[in-house]
Amino acid sequence: MKALMLEEYSKLQVKDVPVPEIGSEEVLIRVGACGICGSDVHGYDGSSGRRIPPIIMGHEAAGVIEKVGADVTEWKPGDRVTFDSTVYCGKCDYCQRGEVNLCNNRQVVGVSCNEFRRHGAFAEYVSVPARILYRLPEDFPMEEAAMLEAVSIALHGVNVTKMKGGESALVIGAGMIGLLTAQAARAKGCRSVMIADVDAARLKMAEEVGIPDTLHMSGKELIDEVLKRTGGEGVDVVLEAVGRGETVVASIECVRRGGTVTLIGNIQPEVPLPLQRVVTREVRLQGSCASAGEYPEAIRLMASGAITVKPLISAVSSLENAANYFDRLHAREAGLLKVVVAPNE
């Protein structure tokens, strides 16, 4: 089969490699579409340390089952599926509690680090355990199905925030996850959703997906504006989708006393924390990692139109042209947000 191999950092090449073997509890999937994630771009240049070459990247994928293992009974060839990017064991205490994103034996599709190497879906075929599969409706477009992983992450961030409905929310960061998180917050019943970013083009995209209350500002200017709009109180919930010191601090300053700041962004390993502001205002800080069973909800909300992803897909690429798109994404080309690769087109 053909696969896009990261042979060394900043060098991707389409190569002929063997079709993956499958175990008794695995399936072989003919890949219909696979999105280029920001983490793949960081893996491409080596900055993340989690894509050690040689590796076939790609974890935001969907396709059609080609073959099933001997012990797989719930799936058959021809089934249209997507799959969790997290390969969880299903046996540890975390998995038994439903916290599969925190699995003791967690692996990630398309990731290679010191602990494990698991080839991904920038290839004609990929093998995954049947336990991480989810069924796709027959009319669900493959290109949009490649966005389900990102939508599940956004929904998980909203779900762990434990909102009751009727909250005022601020999303900081209008990248892919921020844009989806804002839609997820709206779908889960927030009465108002603001989204802030320093990139005007991304805020224009927010308007296109139904989040018109945009703030083209950051830092003190953003804090002052949010407090002005909320009578000096702050919003009920801040969903931080950047992961930098400035945006984490702004999140804490923009939330009301007793409110919740959910940290989804994950760029800087350490950030300053205004501890006294958190403690004396009884602010709840909540981390959010990957997803834990949100795929059915993501499929339902996308199928109903409550969350829309089509405007966020900038291009659909062949496998042969994908390396060019990696270069353009790495260079942060204006207007290029999500690129989906169709390996079998």
pLDDT of residue 165: 94
Rounded average pLDDT over 142-167: 97
Closest Cα partner for 129 from 143, 148, 109, 155?
A: 109
Q: Is 208 exposed, middle or buried (0-12, 13-18, 19+ CB in 10 A)?
A: middle
Q: Are 124 and 15 in contact (CB under 8 A)?
A: no
The string over 312-339, giving b where at least 16 C-beta atoms fall within 10 Å of a residue's C-beta and e elsewhere, is bbbebbebeebbebbeebeeeeeeebbb
| pLDDT for 335 beyond 90 | no
For residue 112, what are the β-bridge partners? 51, 117
Do residues 6 and 132 both lie within one domain?
yes
- Look at residue 302 and tell me if it is in a domain: no
Domain span holding position 48: 2-147+309-341
Count how many residues are written for the chain. Answer: 345
pLDDT of residue 116: 94
Do residues 134 and 167 both lie within one domain?
no
The rounded distance, in Å, linking the Cα atoms of 291 and 297 is 11
Tokens for 190, please give them.
């927030």
Give the up-direction half-sphere exposure of residue 254: CA atoms within 13 A in the CB hemisphere: 32
Q: Are 345 and 317 in contact (CB under 8 A)?
A: no
What CATH number does residue 92 fall under?
3.90.180.10
SS3 labels along 63-90:
EEEEEECCCCCCCCCCCEEEECCEECCC
Hey, CA dihedral for 242, 247, 249, 252, is it positive or negative? negative
pLDDT per residue as tens digits for the range 70-116:
999 999 999 999 999 999 999 999 999 999 999 999 999 999 998 99
Kindly state the percentage of the chain with pLDDT values over 90: 96
- Look at residue 293 and tell me if it is in a domain: no
pLDDT of residue 131: 97
Assign 212 to helix, strand or coil.
coil
The rounded distance, in Å, linking the Cα atoms of 140 and 18 is 29
pLDDT per residue as tens digits for the range 123-147:
999 999 999 999 999 999 999 999 9
Assign 235 to helix, strand or coil.
strand
Q: Is 307 exposed, middle or buried (0-12, 13-18, 19+ CB in 10 A)?
A: buried
Q: Are 13 and 4 in contact (CB under 8 A)?
A: yes
What CATH number does residue 171 fall under?
3.40.50.720
The rounded distance, in Å, linking the Cα atoms of 187 and 297 is 11
Q: Are 238 and 254 in contact (CB under 8 A)?
A: yes
pLDDT per residue as tens digits for the range 288-317:
999 999 999 999 999 999 999 999 999 999
Do residues 116 and 177 both lie within one domain?
no
Q: Are 296 and 134 in contact (CB under 8 A)?
A: yes
pLDDT of residue 47: 86
Do residues 112 and 164 both lie within one domain?
no
Average pLDDT, the chain: 97
Do residues 282 and 235 both lie within one domain?
yes
Do residues 318 and 249 both lie within one domain?
no
Tokens for 151, please give them.
């939508």
pLDDT of residue 252: 98
- Look at residue 296 and tell me if it is in a domain: no
21 falls in which pLDDT band (50, 70, 90)? very high
pLDDT per residue as tens digits for the range 178-206:
999 999 999 999 999 999 999 999 999 99
Give the helix/strand (H/E) hosting 16: strand 11-16
* Radius of gyration of the chain measured on its C-alpha atoms: 20
Longest dimension (CA), the chain: 63
Do residues 106 and 222 both lie within one domain?
no
Q: Are 132 and 84 in contact (CB under 8 A)?
A: yes
Do residues 7 and 141 both lie within one domain?
yes
- Look at residue 298 and tell me if it is in a domain: no
| pLDDT for 287 beyond 90 | yes
Assign 120 to helix, strand or coil.
coil
Q: How many folded domains does the chain comprise?
A: 2
pLDDT of residue 49: 83
Do residues 19 and 134 both lie within one domain?
yes
Do residues 14 and 119 both lie within one domain?
yes
pLDDT of residue 159: 98
- State the distance between the two ends of the chain, measured CA to CA, in whole angstroms: 13
Do residues 128 and 6 both lie within one domain?
yes
Do residues 194 and 320 both lie within one domain?
no
pLDDT per residue as tens digits for the range 214-225:
999 999 999 999
